[in-house]
Chains A and B, each alone.
Chain A
Amino acid sequence: MYHKNYCLITGASEGFGRALAIECAGRKMNLILVALPGPELFYLANFIERNYKVEVIVFEKDLTKEEEYMELFKEVCERNYNINILVNNAGLGNTQLFSEGSIAFYKQQLKLNVVATTLLTRLFLDMLRNNTPAYILNVGSLCSFFYLAKKQVYGATKSFIYFFSKSLRRELENENIHVSVICPGSMNTNTSVILLNKKSSWLSQLAVMNPEEVAQIAIDGLLKRKEVIIPGSVNKLFLVLNKLIPASLKKVITNNQMKLLNAVPPRFRPAYIVGLSILDFQHTFQPPCT
């Protein structure tokens, strides 16, 4: 019997989620889009249906609330939608000192980034098993490779996503369910982030990508069954350099920052600045905010 398959994307109404939705629609996938209540989600669904001729179903759900993702799962089952691609994109980012964040904020962040991702994957697992080959794309972050001040909880939740994805992949490989994790660097996802990105150093600006660009790399990687997807050559370079530079040197550099610059002979300064920019992650990586 023929049945339609759907790709479910969470956090789809703006930023990277929206770019993923448009990218999947461009590849003729039918979509189930999940986002917080608001008109943006409907504008997007309407736009996709008119321009890509695929079916789009929307659910307005707050995925920090357990009852709402339970409802989502129930409604998807009741209406007999077959999901073969699950994209866990919804997430909450921030940049602030740990002491500056409120209890309520961290609770939301953990619930969305960790709990919702885990439990939605668990809920939809049997459905994915029945629709093989199936795919799970989890949205991590380049942050998960670096220990950054002001990104403690965010980075930790993304490390969770990374670990979870890679481990789950080993479990599900034999069942024809392919788990990938994408770790983007900073993206121009919303106005304030774009403005912030424009103010950063040239090297940091080089690393900034548009979400549409990243979405294409993400879905390409997912369908090619890649384990870890790092979009952008500058980001890849950051990662390699991060592994090459010894921890002791990093510590020295980050501790002394620009103070050291004057001590460096002029002809080595460019190299030093490049190194510094790479290590000055706080300014380089803005989390993809959804």
Chain B
Amino acid sequence: MKILVTGATGYLGHQLTLTLAERGNSVQVLVRNPLSANIPSHKNIVVFTGDITNRQSIKSAMRGCEQVYHTDALVKIFAANAADFYKVNVEGTQHLLAEALCAGVKKFVFTSSCGVLGTSVLEPKCENDPRTTGFENDYEFTKFIAESLVKEYIYKGLVTVIVSPSKVYGPGIETHPVSINNLIQRFIKGRATFIPSPGKLLANYCFIDDVVEGHILAMAKGVGGEKYILGGADISYSDFFKTVRSLSGSKATLIKAPQYIAKLFALLQWVQFIITRKEPFATLKGVKSIFCNKTFSSKKAIGQLGYHLTPLEEGLQQTIHFLKTQNNVS
């Protein structure tokens, strides 16, 4: 089957493309730079040059495809030009949806984020739960608008499904400066690691192989117009790093930072941004949400799609092994 994947040079898109290609599908990937080292390579992968912000440039990549996985997005907390988020995450999605409809695509899976659902209160958040706080960053806000667009296209005749991964970790390429893999890497290298205080605050971590499989399951079984959380284990920051420590033997110190320290850090980053234009990865507005529980329930995906959760320990073991061997090679 012919499949289009956007964002194939990203962490998730890369793994997804490889998995699809290995299963005998002919996968067309749309990339901005055809020379990028992050393009997955396999005999079943055909590379098209284009940019989702330019509708004309996606036409040829879309041609003949029955399925579209849209994983491409601008993923960061802050961009010097806030309009970039809108351009890529909203307009880019709009272009793909419109082209998919024209090209007669049978199903469209859109990769969103649990960030759209915000922080949790008492119980893990589910797909239909409302946010209890405003949007803290433009990434989450533009993903939210994109989700509404994706849902609208159901009424225009395109079968769309939304999947929302939480914090993804596991073997794969490094494309983001503050990924979970990166944090684990620094920790096992013995670097002191900051976690929010109290360390019992919860977050949700999903294993990349599960998320890739979740995408493929959503394409196969997902109901049009529905959204599925592709999460993993809800675990506290302390316990997460405790597990990493016991699996890796790392002796790194774990520092519990109170909110004001995080605010100070965000402020320094802001000052740095003003002076050097280096984009911050923490903002004052976003600090509060770091100090909240962010737990998510994958029950719907498990029940309706057959989504599988790799136990955290097993996933972390694979990840640590991957990161360690990767270190030795390079």
Contacts and interface: CB of A to CB of B under 8 A. Distances in A.
A212 B126 CA distance: 20
A210 B122 contact: no
A204 interface: no
Nearest to B90: A195
A201 to B, nearest CB: 15
Nearest to A42: B128
Interface stretch (A44-52, A103-111, A254-262): A44-52
B148 A212 contact: no
Contacts of B134: 188, 210-213
B121 interface: yes
A18 B130 contact: yes
Given A52-B122, A191-B148, A47 B133 contact: no
Interface in B111-154: 120-123, 126, 128-130, 132-135, 141, 144-145, 148
B129 A43 contact: yes
Contacts of A194: 135, 141
Contacts of A44: 130
B133 A50 contact: no
A153 interface: no
A34 interface: no
B313 to A, nearest CB: 29
A134 to B, nearest CB: 27
A56 interface: no
A188 B138 CA distance: 13
Interface string B6-33: 0000000000000000000000000000
B100 to A, nearest CB: 22
A214 B145 CA distance: 23
Contact of B132 (A22, A39, A198): A22
Contact of B133 (A43, A51, A53, A212): A212
Nearest to B148: A191
Interface string A39-68: 110011011001111000000000000000
Interface residues of B, number: 17
Q: Is the interface of A mostly helix, strand, loop or mixed?
A: helix
B130 A47 contact: yes
B129 A47 contact: yes
Interface in A144-198: 188, 191, 194-195, 198
A210 B130 contact: no
Contacts of B122: 50-53
Interface in B76-90: 82
Nearest to B133: A212
Contacts of B132: 22, 212
Interface centre among B129, B132, B135, B145 (most CB of A within 10 A): B132
Contacts of B82: 198
Nearest to A194: B141
Contacts of A53: 122
Nearest to B128: A43
Nearest to B132: A22
A52 B121 contact: yes
B91 to A, nearest CB: 13
B116 to A, nearest CB: 12
A171 to B, nearest CB: 36
A32 B120 CA distance: 23
A51 B130 contact: no
Nearest to B136: A210
Contacts of A211: 134
A191 B145 contact: yes
Contacts of B148: 191
Contact of B123 (A39, A50, A188): A50
B164 to A, nearest CB: 15
A26 to B, nearest CB: 8
A210 B141 contact: no
Nearest to A211: B134
Contacts of B130: 18, 22, 40, 43-44, 47
A194 B128 CA distance: 21
B31 to A, nearest CB: 29
A47 B120 CA distance: 10
B138 to A, nearest CB: 9
Nearest to A50: B123
B134 to A, nearest CB: 3
Closest 10 CB pairs of A and B: A210-B134, A51-B121, A43-B128, A51-B122, A47-B129, A50-B123, A22-B132, A212-B133, A51-B123, A44-B130
Interface of B: 82, 120-123, 126, 128-130, 132-135, 141, 144-145, 148
Given A39-B128, A191-B144, 11 more contacts: A43-B128, A44-B130, A47-B128, A50-B122, A50-B123, A52-B122, A53-B122, A191-B145, A194-B141, A211-B134, A213-B134
13 contacts: A22-B130, A22-B132, A40-B130, A43-B128, A43-B129, A47-B126, A50-B123, A191-B144, A191-B145, A194-B141, A212-B132, A212-B133, A213-B134
